[in-house]
Amino acid sequence: MLINHPLLGPRDASEFVYKGDAALINRPDPDAPDALEQFIDYGYLRDNPAGAHRELWFHEQGDRSWLVVTRNTLTHEITSVELARDVARREGRSK
């Protein structure tokens, strides 16, 4: 499997480490009144879609950037690769 790194071009998947569901970017507010429920959801509950899945990959044997990869879990087709920091900033995180 090749991952088309936004800065470095196509790289072999063996250079990357899978780091989980991209929803992990959206860490809940610890001061929210329902923070406990939100953190249980954040920590333990995952969707398991048969189809497009947004996931985090870490380029460990490369530039060590975190990527958000949209991968089809049925075909392994990758439809989008973005730097996780760009995604996080767009979603209002990490300012």
Contacts with other proteins by CB under 8 A lie at 7-8, 11-12, 14-15, 60-65, 83, 85
* Pairwise CA distance, residues 85 & 64, whole Å: 12
* Pairwise CA distance, residues 42 & 45, whole Å: 6
Amino acid at 23: A
Q: How far is the CB of 32 from other proteins (least distance, A)?
A: 25
Q: How far is the CB of 53 from other proteins (least distance, A)?
A: 24
Q: How far is the CB of 54 from other proteins (least distance, A)?
A: 20
| CB proximity list for 54: less than 8 A, separation 6 or greater | 21, 22, 23, 68, 69, 70
Residue 47 DSSP symbol: -
Q: Considering the complex, state which of residue 38 and residue 62 has its C-beta at the smaller distance from other proteins.
A: 62
Q: Considering the complex, state which of residue 34 and residue 60 has its C-beta at the smaller distance from other proteins.
A: 60
Q: Considering the complex, state which of residue 8 and residue 40 has its C-beta at the smaller distance from other proteins.
A: 8
